[in-house]
Structure 1
Amino acid sequence: MKCAIIILLIYALWKVDCIYAKGVCTSDHHDPKPYLGAKTPYRIRMNPDMSPIVIPDCKAVQLWTIVRHGTRYPSAKVITSMKEGLPLLKNSILRNYEEGKGALCRNEYFNFGNWSTHVEEENEKQLTHEGEDEMQDLAERWLTRLPTLLSENYDNSSYEFRYTATQRTARSARSFAIGLFGRYKAAHVWYPEAIAKDPLIRFYKLCPRWKKYVDKNPASLTEKRAFQHGPEMQGVCRRVGKKLGFDSITYHDVHLMYVTCGFETAWEKKSRSPWCAPFSEDDLKVMEYNEDLEYYWIDGYGFEINYKQACPPLKDLLDRFRCQDDFKIGGYHQERPFIIPGCEEHPCPLNQVLHKYQDTILTCEFNKTCTL
């Protein structure tokens, strides 16, 4: 008996780094490693295999996906720090080099000399041109992988799109549609009115218990603060300071360089940010771990409510499949197949998934979980 397969796509964004080895310029390296956490561009984590997905005796009949917005500009607070702090650091770095201090190579020195920032506060958190390209390219890759399911001919009965009430998500959705249908047809795609506190894809905005006890709770950052004063982070500060010719350098300045390295790496495909130069690969791993400590406790598995409140999108996914016993569901993370927890194969029989997550997902007691 032939079965039908439902494709589940889930994306998480990680980011890229620049490498420094003693005596070698970062500009000599062309294979960056993904140690920039949430700033890693899609192009670093994309699956280059765009061949059609073939499941024996199955055909794709439905797709449900959550896609994070593309690369954006920083918050106004970070932009202000970049505009005020980085020029001062740049001038000191150049002066140190000219005085024979530090370990920058000549190319790195010139890269700092040519650097300037052109980001303004009014650009805060808006999608960049690279972010638009990311979304369009992503859609085009899935169009190639699922040629019998995804059609370049758009109609409202076959496709449903949704995005939150921000500029970066609205433009991401429209860029994704361009990748699927082309610029002319994408202009006719219908979108429902965006909701600032969307109960499906921005559920955490409607969870008072999470806001009070996790998001606004200073204790959520206890581990991160402790790590910032620990030997690993202090070692990074010493090595970065030595590389740039400083007797000492603050964590604040090192972190600002790391954040700028991440954003500028994400924005630019062909050029390397000079602010990546001070970090070795091991240093970047430490910096990324430092960032991950915040995401783990506030958005990840640090507190039970973080993941218990996330049942609405998964419930929506399973509710939309009114399917027969011979259906299967295939999960994809960062464009690569994965085994759904509780299953032993890919794709997994849908009735097995429904049985496994009946109590935790399909009941989805969001209000009970989130009420103070």
Structure 2
Amino acid sequence: MCSLILLSLSVFMFEVCSASICFWNSGCPYNYFATATPYNVVRGDIRDSRIKIKSCEAVSIWGLFRHGKSNPDLDTAKNMKKVIATRHFLETSYINGNCSLCAQDVENLKDWPIDDNLFDKPNSVADEGYKEMLGIGRRLKQAFPKLLEKSKDIQYIIQLFDSNDAVMKDSAKGLMEGLKSGSNLDSLTSLFTDSKWCNKKNNTHDIIESLKYHGSSDYLILKDRIQRRTGINYDLTDEDILSLYNLCRYSSSGFEKKLSPWCAIFTTKDLQALEYMEDLHNYYKDSYGTPKNDILGRIPLADLFGKFEQVKLGKGKRMVAYITQASTLSMAYTALGLFKDKEQLTGAYRNSERQWRSSKITAFSANFIAVLNRCAIDEEEDYNVIFYLNEEPLMSICEDGICSWQEFEEKFKSFTNSSAGCNDF
């Protein structure tokens, strides 16, 4: 009798555990999607995390801002649209008992409404992306109210990596709206100027390592796991898997804290492997995988030093913001030696403990901000610089996250001499 009770209990526990791993009611789903990670997943809040130093006041802000969440490019959108039909095959697979997804997850996929903007407006800022940038501007203004108060004089410079890029332009408008709290943006269009930085030649190493990873046991197990989980009666290609992944991440929302039902296709291990696949690509394209990437990264850092030196001389601006791409941030981190792993990332092995995580350092609207403070110490004027990554203090550049002017000059002045021209790129 006791054994029967125990058997019944174990069956009951198994059923409860099975239900608890359904995607739709998962309490803590994995939401790190490499460079397509929503900003709200990784951001801090500079109003709470701002480092305040007695007898010091902020006199200038300089920042690199990746554009806000955007729709995929035309080719990516076309491929995503092709695999939407997968949900019908999934439904059939579930009815036939071949799919291991939960009933509610299959139903949510079936009822998923197609967002025409996602496919018909490629390379444009999504509503969430505009809100991301607007929120950053508002929080900066609230954190530094005296510095970013309204002024008749032009005290801000908003520069675009490419003024013809609608994603950059709309992101800049979102940031400015937040900073100016609804001022007339038409009067500020003259501030949106091009940033003429260099472009480098393509590097084949990012493709080579990505291909190696596609042949690794890690990726092949992922592919088999997805095939078995969906139970679809045709073989999913690498392109199919990437497109399904893009449906998952591009139709998720950081503001609503709601992941797309397309994410139900993937386990946490699947998402971690796909995240690494993109990290690997970016590592060789924009970071330590190619030694010369740090040369381009020195260019914005030289600009940072020059802009703060002007402020120190009484000639600078209250704020300088560059609206740019993930590549620019990655190269700047590389020049500074940030997020550097002891061993290079490779396609043969996925380092789950790696420091280079594009989800956390180059997500949508990711930002690298420096704040120059003027201090009065023993009636003498002095300056220091504090760095922030995604609105959280960045502690690794100087001790306790605060650089004295001497430390800042020692670390950054050299970039003005080594940010060479573009002949090698």
Q: Same fold (TM over 0.5)?
A: yes
Task: Say which SS state the counterpart of residue 331 (structure 1) adopts.
Answer: strand
Q: 1:352 to 1:48 in 2, by over 3 A?
A: closer
Residue 281 (structure 1) shift: 1.3
Question: Are 1:101 and 2:101 an aligned pair?
Answer: no
Counterpart residue identity of residue 328, structure 1: N
The answer to which of 91-100 and 262-271 deviates more is 262-271
Match of 1:161 in 2: 158
**Relative contact order (alpha carbons < 8 A, sep ≥ 6): 1 or 2 greater?**
2
Within 5 Å, give how 1:74-85 maps onto structure 2: 74-85=72-83
Counterpart residue identity of residue 221, structure 1: I
Match of 1:278 among 241, 265, 268: 265
Residue 365 (structure 1) shift: 3.8
Task: Say which SS state the counterpart of residue 329 (structure 1) adopts.
Answer: strand
Q: 1:120 to 1:27 in 2, by over 3 A?
A: closer
Residue 239 (structure 1) shift: 1.3
Task: Say which SS state the counterpart of residue 309 (structure 1) adopts.
Answer: helix
Match of 1:334 among 390, 413, 416: 390
Cα distance in 2 for residues equivalent to 1:122 and 1:54: 46
Match of 1:171 in 2: 170
Cα distance in 1 for residues equivalent to 2:189 and 2:46: 31
Residue 330 (structure 1) shift: 0.5
* Contact persistence 1:238–1:249 (CA under 8 A): no
Cα distance in 1 for residues equivalent to 2:174 and 2:111: 32
Counterpart residue identity of residue 218, structure 1: T
Match of 1:13 in 2: none
Q: 1:158 to 1:48 in 2, by over 3 A?
A: closer
Q: 1:122 to 1:115 in 2, by over 3 A?
A: closer
Counterpart residue identity of residue 352, structure 1: E
Counterpart residue identity of residue 231, structure 2: G
Counterpart residue identity of residue 292, structure 1: D
Q: 1:353 to 1:53 in 2, by over 3 A?
A: closer
Counterpart residue identity of residue 417, structure 2: T
Residue deviations 1:63-90, cap 9 Å, x none? 1111111000001001111122322x12
Match of 1:236 in 2: 222
Task: Say which SS state the counterpart of residue 248 (structure 2) adopts.
Answer: helix
Q: 1:143 to 1:33 in 2, by over 3 A?
A: farther
* Contact persistence 2:206–2:282 (CA under 8 A): no
Match of 2:22 in 1: 25
What TM-score, normalized to structure 1? 0.83
Cα distance in 2 for residues equivalent to 1:161 and 1:185: 15
The answer to which of 111-120 and 53-62 deviates more is 111-120
Residue deviations 1:20-52, cap 9 Å, x none? x95422121354434200011111112146236
Q: 1:126 to 1:156 in 2, by over 3 A?
A: farther
Question: Are 1:358 and 2:409 an aligned pair?
Answer: no
The answer to which of 182-191 and 77-86 deviates more is 182-191
Cα distance in 2 for residues equivalent to 1:246 and 1:90: 10
Paired residues in the alignment total 334
Match of 2:350 in 1: none
Residue 264 (structure 1) shift: 0.8
Task: Say which SS state the counterpart of residue 351 (structure 1) adopts.
Answer: helix
Match of 1:346 among 368, 378, 401: 401
Residue deviations 1:162-213, cap 9 Å, x none? 1222101111111111111122344432434643xx32xxx242xxxx31xx
Higher Cα radius of gyration: 2
Counterpart residue identity of residue 182, structure 1: S
* Contact persistence 2:125–2:170 (CA under 8 A): yes
Cα distance in 2 for residues equivalent to 1:29 and 1:194: 45
Listed as ranges, the gaps of 5+ residues in structure 1 are: 1-20
Residue 329 (structure 1) shift: 0.5
Match of 2:252 in 1: 265
Identity between Structure 1 and Structure 2 (%) = 23
Cα distance in 2 for residues equivalent to 1:178 and 1:346: 29
Q: 1:82 to 1:268 in 2, by over 3 A?
A: farther
Residue deviations 1:296-332, cap 9 Å, x none? 0001111111121122211111011233872100000
* Contact persistence 1:40–1:266 (CA under 8 A): no
Counterpart residue identity of residue 59, structure 2: V
Residue 121 (structure 1) shift: 5.3
The answer to which of 294-303 and 264-273 deviates more is 264-273
Listed as ranges, the gaps of 5+ residues in structure 2 are: 1-16, 314-380
Residue 230 (structure 1) shift: 0.8
Residue 348 (structure 1) shift: 0.5
Cα distance in 2 for residues equivalent to 1:204 and 1:282: 38
Q: 1:270 to 1:309 in 2, by over 3 A?
A: closer
Task: Say which SS state the counterpart of residue 224 (structure 1) adopts.
Answer: helix
Aligned alpha-carbon RMSD (Å): 2.3
Counterpart residue identity of residue 105, structure 2: E
Cα distance in 1 for residues equivalent to 2:307 and 2:46: 28
Match of 1:315 in 2: 302
Residue deviations 1:313-367, cap 9 Å, x none? 11111011233872100000111111353x32421112222123333x0113421
Residue 102 (structure 1) shift: 1.2
Q: 1:182 to 1:358 in 2, by over 3 A?
A: closer
* Contact persistence 1:340–1:348 (CA under 8 A): no
Counterpart residue identity of residue 177, structure 1: M
Cα distance in 1 for residues equivalent to 2:173 and 2:70: 15
Cα distance in 2 for residues equivalent to 1:338 and 1:312: 20
Match of 1:223 in 2: 209
Residue 236 (structure 1) shift: 1.0
Residue 116 (structure 1) shift: 4.4
Match of 2:6 in 1: none
